[in-house]
Amino acid sequence: MSLQSRWNNICSATIGTPDFWTVCVDHRAARQALHPLIEKYASGVALDAGAGRLAWREMISRKCERYVSVDYTKTHPELTAVGDLLKGLPFEPRTFDTIFCCSVLEHVEDPDAALKELARVLKPGGKLILSVPFRYYLHGAPIDYFRFTTHGVQLLAGRQGFDVVSLTSSGGLAHEMGQALSMLAAALFGPSKVGIAASQAMAGVLWRVAAIIDRLDSEGRFAQNVNAVLARRL
């Protein structure tokens, strides 16, 4: 079995549980960056766009009246709907108060069109919580097309009728190296209870060390991800 397959098994064994968020550096970093944005800005009826295997469902559901999930294939048996950001989502205009979209735009051929479709189904004044990669390893190949700067997110947002409420970056070179090591460790330790505990312990150390080192890059020139809250114009 390849290391990639072993890593996929770890994710499959932990997704939907608290262990998922501590088994590697990136999962810890993503939760640290996005959970506060969900807590502050998510409300009402929420759409998880590109929901995959519903990793974020619990966090979003705690803050919102209703959670709706969509992806372009049936990625999870409890996925609400199947839809394509480029061909059109199966929802009426102005349906959602909040949209959460994490690690999706890099996988669509036309990010402008995808943002336009998200704006269509978002209520005026509604919030889009968006996370996209800047410096990040190849994933989901061959459907992995783009990387985004903070300036690029601002440009895309303005073109598609969004105002920027919050715009930050997260991660860095040390996080990138730490993630590679934590993925390798998790793949080698395996998905048993002992293996997951060992992966969590190692990822915790790597994450803390990386956080200290990456503070030196105060301008986020080597950040891994760009995280934004965008408001649809009235």
Tens digits of residue pLDDT in 107-148: 999 999 999 999 999 999 999 999 999 999 898 889 999 999
d(CA 225, CA 85): 21
Going by DSSP bridges, is the β-strand pair 96-102/66-71 parallel, antiparallel, or unpaired? unpaired
**pTM of the shown model:** 0.95
Q: pLDDT at position 167, please? A: 97
The verdict on 195 and 110 lying in the same domain is no
The verdict on 145 and 188 lying in the same domain is no
What is the domain range of residue 195?
1-41+173-216
The verdict on 186 and 212 lying in the same domain is yes
The verdict on 160 and 54 lying in the same domain is yes
Give the torsion sign (CA, 207, 168, 125, 78): negative
| Run of H or E including 227 | strand 225-232
Q: How many domains does the chain have?
A: 2
Please state, rounded to an integer, the average pLDDT across all residues of the chain: 95
